A = this chain, B = another copy of it.
């Protein structure tokens, strides 16, 4: 069967390859891949900057944002042929650490976790894959192929869980949220904020076009320009760009008692010169919090699936700005200025 594979840490090594059918040792549920989304991590891997092949192998099958259809499943699995499922990206470390033992592999303590399409496990850019029933999550059949948006939604479902648990360490009645960046993560973060009844503001660079339109369609407010000028003291700030300067601006922009959640993976070696005294003082006197959030566990997959099931299907479909057939896979790794989410199509 066909798969998009790469030799990790080797730029220009991605290719459409012939690979063996998934081995039964990978799990009892056989899934036909419908579509796989592309994100910044995939581009880092394709550029040769990131990624690990499975032990004993040179090449890694790419892809971690999946939607698939069950072809075969044991009856005890609770799954049946035809069910739509999304594979969970990260799997617990083999030790396991106490977080992985508790099913919180997103908080793995020893770094020995594995990740489909990223770290030591083949990904979902192949025609079929197998996994254990508890390594995948069902999505609402009505969502159809839009279930490909679940994996990025799990990232913001976790971010919102972190925000609410941290904010809720004391009495908390948040009203406003500022989202930095209107890419897929930012737009989905805004969606979940609106679903919570918050007044949501999104800031990005584009003056017009799809991103402002998608923000307005949510009932949120779109801004360009400096974070400090968007709104006074938001209760929540979700930073989705990873741009180091914006991370610091986000930490400074939050209101008294507020929570800043960082979801973007910043490049190392980018120096920031800042009034660190004022930032630290405002954090102490304002009881504010900055938390980093990565990945997601099964709880966040379920929360993300619920959030998508509640969302407007038309709005979700507009997030997918391009669908690329498998034989032109390399087009999916080109990111245009109007692209939000680009999806590789494997089957209809």
> Which residues of A are at the interface with B, using a C-beta cutoff of 8 A?
98-99, 102, 104, 106-109, 111, 161-162, 165-166, 169-171, 173, 242, 244-245, 247-248, 256-257, 262-294
Chain B min CB distance to A118 (Å): 12
CA distance A262 to B169 in the complex (A): 16
CA distance A111 to B257 in the complex (A): 11
Chain B min CB distance to A41 (Å): 12
Q: Residue A272 contacts which of B109, B274, B294 (CB distance < 8 angstroms)?
A: B274
Chain B residues in 8 Å Cβ range of A264: 280, 284
Instruction: Considering the complex, give the chain B residue whose CB is closest to the CB of A251.
Output: B290
Known A-B contacts: A262-B280, A266-B277. Give 16 more (CB < 8 A). A109-B257, A242-B281, A248-B276, A262-B283, A265-B284, A265-B285, A266-B278, A267-B281, A269-B275, A271-B273, A271-B274, A274-B274, A280-B292, A282-B292, A283-B292, A285-B292
Question: Are A170 and B104 closer than 8 Å at their CB atoms?
Answer: yes
Of listed A161, A265, A287, residue having the most chain B CB within 10 A:
A287
Chain B residues in 8 Å Cβ range of A287: 106-107, 291-294
CA distance A173 to B98 in the complex (A): 8
State the oligomeric state as a number of copies.
Answer: 2
Chain B residues in 8 Å Cβ range of A284: 242, 262-266, 292-294
Q: Can you name 23 A-B residue pairings with CB atoms under 8 Å?
A: A111-B256, A162-B169, A166-B169, A166-B291, A242-B280, A244-B276, A244-B280, A248-B276, A264-B280, A265-B285, A268-B277, A269-B275, A269-B277, A269-B278, A271-B274, A271-B275, A271-B277, A273-B273, A280-B292, A283-B290, A283-B292, A286-B292, A288-B292
